[in-house]
Chains A and B, each alone.
Chain A
Amino acid sequence: MIAADQTQSWIDGHSVLANAPAWLNKQRTDALTQFETLGLPGVRDEQWRYTNLRALKSTAYQLAERSALNTELPATNGTRLVIVDGYVDLEASSIDNIDVTLGSLSDMLGNTEVQAAFGTTLPVKQHGFMSLNTAYADDGYVLIIAPKLVLKDHIEVVFVNQASETVSHTRNLIIAGAHSQCTVVERHISAADNPTHLSNVITEIVTADNAHVDHYKIQQLGDAAFHIGGVFVNHASHAHVKSHNIALGGRIARNDVHCNLLGQGAHIEMNGLVVGSGAQHVDNHTQVNHLVPHCTSDEFYKTILDDQSRSVFRGRIVVAQDAQQTNADQQNNNLLLSPQAEADCKPQLEIYADDVKCSHGATVGQLDPKSIFYLKSRGISDEQAHTLLTFAFANEVIERVQVESIRTELTQLIAGELLSGLADLV
């Protein structure tokens, strides 16, 4: 039993892995030592000042154990890997229909590519949960795309949180070979009985030259779930990565999306959408490190908040001294629908090179009364006008989704999530 608010309790709960290679156990113990100094974050930490973890910390957790899927998932013809409480469930998965290396991390620890990539994308300045993830995670998915392989269909990975009052630490790895292309869709869902589950999930994406990776994270956890997530990307030369971060659920959900642009000509696109209601709290931290010249980054995060929900956005762009000819753009727009909702945003530019074009824009506000008036003057009711414009606000992010099936699905999801009145209109 781990009392979440006690650092020592996490340290005591740790054990080395019996069958793991030495390199992994070393990383795990190092991470635990790091956690000892970091401890769990609190509101006094600048990067957590708007996120109160009291609700998360007041629970005592068991470490999640390997168990079989007890939730029914919609049928699929495509490739799907299922992860239950942090452990890959091959029984429930259908991955034989595709010719790539896709499987469970614990089965692939002997793989030299895994060893070379593991832990390389993590930020230097970590928070406690990141260290805990490295220290504890013993499973997750590994996807290795061979050079020049182009996958037309997307790969779906479903994370199911099942056992209540448990904590799962999951580490995933995507290794994209040179000139390869792939699309990965991560879904995070809770079992039907809405368990109080803390999931701590990190996905590392390591690219080779000219690799293209589209990464989707669609988080639809139940309102009792806590989620700490991380997507960390290393870009080689001319690698293109798109990260889509759609947060619709969870009681407290924190996401760190970081990328290191390490090769010239690399490009990152970060899209984010938060739809909050009830007592939800969503905290998105993004960071783009422009470390070499001629890289571009494009960030687009939107938030819609209803009821007492809260959102936090921090977007940091760092341009290193030699990263000339950088082009970086960041947009963050927040829409408040209720008097109790709160949005905090913190865009940051840190620039040490001179030949750059960087900009950021942030807005917090409500729907434009002129637009509402326009719609009403065309005979659309006040309620429908609001619905339509709110949807249009979210749709700007959805439009950036390339895969048509996901775009359609998201459109319906968002429509269902907050816009009951929309059904008659579309």
Chain B
Amino acid sequence: MSEALNEKNKDLKALVKREYKEGFITDIESDTFEPGLNEDVIRRISARKNEPEFMLEYRLKAFRRWQKMPEPDWAHIDYPKIDFQDIAYFSEPKKKPKLDSLDDVDPKLLETYEKLGIPLEEQKMLANVAVDAVFDSVSVRTTFRETLSKAGVIFMPISEALQEHPELVKQYLGTVVPPQDNYYAALNAAVFSDGSFVYIPKGVRCPMELSTYFRINEMNTGQFERTLIIADEGAYVSYLEGCTAPQRDENQLHAAVVELIAHKDAEIKYSTVQNWYPGDENGKGGIYNFVTKRGVCKGERAKISWTQVETGSAITWKYPSVVLQGDHSVGEFYSVALTHNKQQADTGTKMIHMGKNTSSTIISKGISAGHGQNAYRGLVKVTKGADNARNFSQCDSLLLGDRCGAHTFPYMEVENPSANLEHEATTSKISEDQLFYLQQRGLSEEASVSMIVNGFCKEVFRELPMEFAVEAQKLLDVSLEGAVG
């Protein structure tokens, strides 16, 4: 027993010292625009993607708005100013493969996925997951397209959707996150490269979990994903998003927009595991993650649920929100955010109650270690007509080390007296008693801490699909190595 534990400790020690495993650069010749942003660049992006006219108009309008907007500075984060002219706004692997089987995929790409631990074949077989792998903006391959199309589900890159279903994209794009919504949403609307488009028709329960792996690869390339998911009346879909990125010295910008639309009786479950390069111990490098995610419960009894596990990125600025428009609609937000070394996270959610008898739940778990700064920022708003709104929020923070910070900034705005809102927050370190108990049962300090942290996050992990929950736990362990003792 003790030998096995010693062995485990050794493994852990090795993990402490390990380099960021996902940090490698795939050497594929890319067709990349030179850095810089102006209307010409946007016209070129649009032309390259052979987009319909309305899309170009949409982009240009957003760009003109963006130019007039000030960069937000209210978040509890600190970073050098971004030079938006120093970023290349388009990049794709040159040999664009249109393939039917894995054998035709560029072997180097396949190798990349292998290193990341995403065996496409295996996932297809075992997890019954259709994978739309985004490699630097352009989707390389899509699997299970057929099964899905039998069910009537549309799941494709948004650039293809613009060719095949322009009317659907036009109808919904920007209705949840309009281009003028915020600085980064406007930037995304102007230059977004690609992303996923999902449409679940009326009454269809999507036959499999949908998943996309995003990967930032090109040097100096900002990644601007755009995801649009529509669940029509009575439909159900669970969508998974997982991310890793190669190690780099220069900071990379990621400004994605995700829009969810749930019609009457529909349910969308959106899960994220984010493990982008967090920068080194001194805070050098790492991804800037400025994301706008929002869903609308349009019809009665619609439900949107966000689950996120955020362990990567140098800076996370992200507030997945739900607008509860339909009566009896439900919004949920489950989050684990971990900051270590010099990582900074300012994340949370907004629940806007508009319909009658709406309810929302917020469970947020923040873990700070090293010099990490972790902030929860959330808003629960109950508008005048939202009778009997119900919200429960819980924000817990765990501090590991005396140089980290944990902050909570919840906002509650209530304009209706029938509302019932509860918010509670606690901040503490791991109790000596718990540690002692586990250690006197023979566990090492690190194993004990890991166990306690996993227990701390359990409420969120159990919302994740099974295979993601396992990955998330591993991620947490690895991200926390070196934080204890």
Contacts and interface: CB of A to CB of B under 8 A. Distances in A.
Given A354-B400, A354-B401, A356-B399, A349 B425 contact: yes
Interface in B381-430: 382, 384, 397, 399-429
A357 interface: yes
Contacts of A348: 407-410
Nearest to A362: B423
Nearest to B375: A350
A358 B426 contact: yes
Interface in A301-360: 321, 324, 334, 336-339, 341-360
Contacts of B403: 321
B54 interface: no
B426 to A, nearest CB: 4
A319 B62 CA distance: 41
Contacts of B420: 363-366
Contacts of B426: 357-359
Nearest to A350: B407
Nearest to A310: B415
B419 A344 contact: no
B427 A349 contact: yes
A361 B424 contact: yes
Interface in B27-46: none
Contacts of A91: none
B412 A362 contact: yes
Nearest to A358: B427
A356 B427 contact: yes
Nearest to A334: B414
B410 A346 contact: yes
A291 B382 CA distance: 36
Nearest to A365: B420
B79 interface: no
Nearest to A355: B429
Contacts of A354: 399-402, 404, 429
A424 interface: no
B399 A362 contact: no
A339 B416 CA distance: 6
Contacts of A339: 384, 416-418
Contacts of B410: 346-348, 362
Give the size category of A's interface with B.
35 or more
A351 B374 CA distance: 10
Contacts of A321: 402-403
A67 B38 CA distance: 66
B405 to A, nearest CB: 4
Contacts of B402: 321, 324, 353-355
Contact of B418 (A347, A356, A357, A366): A366
B414 A363 contact: no
B89 to A, nearest CB: 32
Contact of B419 (A346, A360, A365): A365
Interface residues of B, number: 36
A46 interface: yes
Contacts of A365: 419-422
A324 B401 CA distance: 11
B428 A357 contact: yes
A343 B427 CA distance: 25
Contacts of A344: 411-414
Nearest to A359: B426
A347 B425 contact: yes
Contacts of A352: 404-405
A360 B407 CA distance: 12
B446 to A, nearest CB: 17
Contacts of B400: 354
A90 B336 CA distance: 61
A364 B406 contact: no
A356 B429 CA distance: 7
A366 B404 CA distance: 38
A283 B191 CA distance: 43
B424 A359 contact: yes
Contacts of A342: 413-415
Contact of A336 (B384, B411, B417): B417
A362 B394 CA distance: 10
A356 B426 CA distance: 10
A351 B427 contact: yes
A14 B411 CA distance: 38
A355 B384 CA distance: 42
A292 to B, nearest CB: 14
A391 B478 CA distance: 53
A324 B397 CA distance: 16
A337 B418 CA distance: 9
Contact of A356 (B413, B417, B428): B428
A365 B420 CA distance: 4
Contacts of A346: 409-412
A46 B74 CA distance: 9
Interface in A190-210: none
Interface string B138-161: 000000000000000000000000
B428 to A, nearest CB: 5
Given A336-B417, A358-B427, A351 B412 contact: no
Nearest to B429: A354
A364 B412 CA distance: 8
A260 to B, nearest CB: 19
A349 B417 contact: no
Of B382, B417, B419, B428, the most chain A CB neighbours within 10 A belong to: B417
Nearest to B404: A354
A44 B397 CA distance: 30
Contacts of A361: 422-425
B366 to A, nearest CB: 10
A391 to B, nearest CB: 18
A113 to B, nearest CB: 37
A44 to B, nearest CB: 12
A347 B408 contact: yes
B160 to A, nearest CB: 43
A50 B401 CA distance: 36
B409 A351 contact: no
Contacts of B422: 361-363, 365
A364 B399 contact: no
A364 B419 contact: yes
B147 to A, nearest CB: 47
A331 to B, nearest CB: 10
Interface string B117-149: 000000000000000000000000000000000
A363 B392 CA distance: 9
Nearest to B423: A362
A197 B353 CA distance: 38
A265 to B, nearest CB: 20
Given A344-B411, A348-B409, A360 B425 contact: yes
A358 B396 CA distance: 10
Contact of B406 (A341, A343, A349, A360): A349
Nearest to B397: A351
A364 B414 contact: yes
Nearest to B399: A354
Given A349-B425, A354-B400, A354-B429, A336 B408 contact: no
Interface in B241-268: none
Nearest to A366: B417
Contacts of B415: 342
Given A344-B413, A344-B414, A362-B412, 6 more contacts: A336-B414, A347-B425, A354-B402, A359-B426, A360-B424, A362-B422
List 9 tightest A-B contacts by C-beta distance, closest first: A336-B417, A354-B399, A364-B421, A365-B420, A358-B427, A362-B423, A359-B426, A352-B405, A364-B414
Interface of B: 74, 76, 382, 384, 397, 399-429
Interface of A: 46, 50, 321, 324, 334, 336-339, 341-366
7 contacts: A334-B414, A339-B417, A349-B406, A350-B76, A351-B406, A364-B412, A365-B422
